[in-house]
Amino acid sequence: MTSLSANPLGLPEIRSMVGRHLDQPDLARCSQVSKSWHASFLPLVWSTVSIRPEPTHRNPSLEVFNRYSQYVKNLSYTVDAPHEYRSTPCPRLLDLLVYVTQPPANQPRIDTILIDIPQHERLRSLCIEGDEMSRIIWKPAHHLHNLSKLDLNHLEIEPQDSTTFWGLCTQLEELMTINVGVELPVQSITFDRLQQLGLSLRPRISIERQLDFIIQCPNLAYLDWMYFDSETVSTYTRRFKPGTCAWPNLREFSLAGLDFTDEQLARIIGAMRDLKKLCVHRGEVGPHFLAALNPHFPSLRSLEISKCRELTPALTSYILASCSHLESLAVAPWMSQDIIDSPPWICESSLEVLTAAFLFPHGDDADHHQRQVLQRIARLTNLKEVTLSQSHDTDARDLDLRLDNGLELLATWKQLEKFSFHAGIHHLSARDVEWMIDNWENLEEVEGHFDQDNKDELIVMFEAAGIDCTSY
């Protein structure tokens, strides 16, 4: 009988698994241990490569890059990186990130870079980070038969290339755009494969025309639409009718830019089915919105309406009391008495992310109210991320998170990983910070407004405990 090696690292499979959790310097050191380790770790050393023209960035020599390009799976480079690197075939390349800045007259344009892309036949994800003036030519990119994800930021696609561009998009499963200028496709084209769409186009394209395009994507499961213009939204909302949703698979919906009334938001939400995630950055939420949202409560996992108008404490309380599977919630400022009087929160055990502002009236009852509120939110035992947002309400004060005011009641937040406070200046002491470090054992990141008198001392305490700390 052959006995297994006593050292698990003697198995190539184990070494590969370990290597996925190491950074580049450690991978390089591991590849130098022995011939067998070299064979295991070398592909991981070269799986991710970044080419930069800055003198401070250590690029591999062209000879070495050519020798090991067969292992490269993730590649990033800037528009002014040497052409020899960009033209090197990488047969296993899956993800490509191109940073584009407006090049000087003696440097190649972005279309020159795209000519290199068809050499990477297995490429599945392409991201191009441009600037306001970047223009690209798409003719060389239509041979990317395995491309399924495209991410474009701050780019202008030449009108003569829009047909080629949209032809490429018919094979995509995910398309993300931020401030992109492009002529939209003819309405006879459908994008049946597209499941995730982030749409932020330059405002010269009307809202009606953009909606026509989105309707050409019938299998969307995720839609993030940003439209910033003064155009009326009535022409937009009339396209939504209950029971006639153009996207039956849509489960995550985010809407930014347009300012909707309560009735208009209700019309949009009411035309959708079983939403899991909803984010509305502007608009009025009231009884019509709540009635339209109610059928989604059994499926709703994430709700972001903190920047909406007319969001009452009663509506917030109703949501917390009705959404049993809610995992993330961002709401408007909330007065202490409303929190104390609210019915039981059915999502106490499921909520992981909370963004809110807790407000307390000035006066003798403020400290008593604070302890009652802390007792209430202490029941949210699975919170991983908490953000105390800013209220701008001069008639009330924000939550005061110090041991002198009941901080110890939040010892139940054992799962907390990130804590942010943007509401005023928190006068934390070294004693308060020490308590957070000792009791919030999973805490990884803290950010917020610290008192200038002891800010440096508190930051040192957090960072000495291995917690990233940012002070505004």
pLDDT in tens, 2-46: 455 567 776 776 777 776 777 778 878 877 788 877 788 788 888
Binned at pLDDT 50, 70 and 90, residue 393 comes out as low
Q: How far apart are CA 178 and CA 195, in angstroms?
A: 17
Judge whether 296 and 274 are in contact, CB under 8 Å: yes
Judge whether 298 and 276 are in contact, CB under 8 Å: no
Judge whether 101 and 79 are in contact, CB under 8 Å: yes
For 395, left (φ over 0), alpha (ψ -120 to 50), or beta?
alpha
For 58-87, what is the mean pLDDT?
A: 87
For 79-98, what is the mean pLDDT?
A: 86
Strands 302-304 and 328-330: parallel
Q: How far apart are CA 369 and CA 34, in angstroms?
A: 65
Which residue type sits at 347? Answer: C
For 291-297, what is the mean pLDDT?
A: 95
Residue 298 token pair? 């059994």
Tokens 């959708």 appear where? 272
Res. 235: pLDDT tops 50: yes
Q: How far apart are CA 380 and CA 352, in angstroms?
A: 8
Tokens 């698994």 appear where? 17
Identify the three-state secondary structure at position 160.
helix
Strands 252-256 and 277-280: parallel
Residue 94 token pair? 């899956």
DSSP, res 246: S
End-to-end distance of the chain based on CA atoms, in angstroms? 65
Q: b/e per residue, 422-457, with b = 16+ CB within 10 A?
A: bbbebebeeebbebbbebbeebeebbbebeeeeeee
For 102-131, what is the mean pLDDT?
A: 67
Higher pLDDT, 333 or 237: 333
Tokens 């939403």 appear where? 275
Q: What does the mean pLDDT of the chain come to?
A: 85
Q: What is the pLDDT of residue 404?
A: 87
Strands 396-398 and 358-361: antiparallel
Binned at pLDDT 50, 70 and 90, residue 418 comes out as very high
Q: Which range, of 15-19, 41-45, 415-419, 435-439, averages the lowest pLDDT?
A: 15-19
Residue range 377-386, pLDDT digits in tens:
999 999 999 9
Judge whether 140 and 115 are in contact, CB under 8 Å: yes
Cβ burial of 21 (10 Å; 0-12, 13-18, 19+) is: exposed
Q: What is the pLDDT of residue 1?
A: 41
Backbone angles phi, psi at 449, to 5 degrees: -95, 110
Backbone angles phi, psi at 189, to 5 degrees: -85, 135
Identify the three-state secondary structure at position 290.
helix
Higher pLDDT, 245 or 109: 245
Binned at pLDDT 50, 70 and 90, residue 102 comes out as low
Higher pLDDT, 107 or 220: 220
Q: What is the pLDDT of residue 25?
A: 81
Res. 85: pLDDT tops 60: yes
Which residue type sits at 363? Answer: G
Backbone angles phi, psi at 288, to 5 degrees: -65, -45
* Global pTM value: 0.85
Integer CA distances (angstroms), 15 to 3, 29, 206, 257, 417, in order: 19, 13, 54, 49, 29
Q: How far apart are CA 143 and CA 41, in angstroms?
A: 32
Q: b/e per residue, 106-118, with b = 16+ CB within 10 A?
A: eeeebbbbbbbbe
* Portion of the chain with pLDDT greater than 70, in percent: 86
Judge whether 384 and 353 are in contact, CB under 8 Å: yes
Q: Residue 470: which H helix or E strand, with range?
A: strand 468-471
Res. 426: pLDDT tops 70: no
Q: Which range, of 64-73, 176-185, 365-374, averages the lowest pLDDT?
A: 365-374
Binned at pLDDT 50, 70 and 90, residue 115 comes out as very low
Most confident of 119-123, 143-147, 414-418, 456-460: 414-418
Higher pLDDT, 202 or 438: 438
Q: Where are the beta strands (DSSP E) in 158-263?
A: 174-181, 196-199, 222-226, 252-256
Binned at pLDDT 50, 70 and 90, residue 107 comes out as low
Closest among 233, 225, 230, 235 to 200, alpha carbons compared: 225
Q: What is the pLDDT of residue 109?
A: 53
Res. 231: pLDDT tops 60: no
Binned at pLDDT 50, 70 and 90, residue 257 comes out as confident
Q: What is the pLDDT of residue 112?
A: 45
CB atoms under 10 Å from CB of 165, counted, come to 22
Q: What is the pLDDT of residue 462?
A: 94
Most confident of 202-211, 260-269, 459-468: 459-468
370 CB-side CA count, 13 A: 22
Res. 114: pLDDT tops 60: no
Q: How far apart are CA 80 and CA 86, in angstroms?
A: 10
Longest dimension (CA), the chain: 80
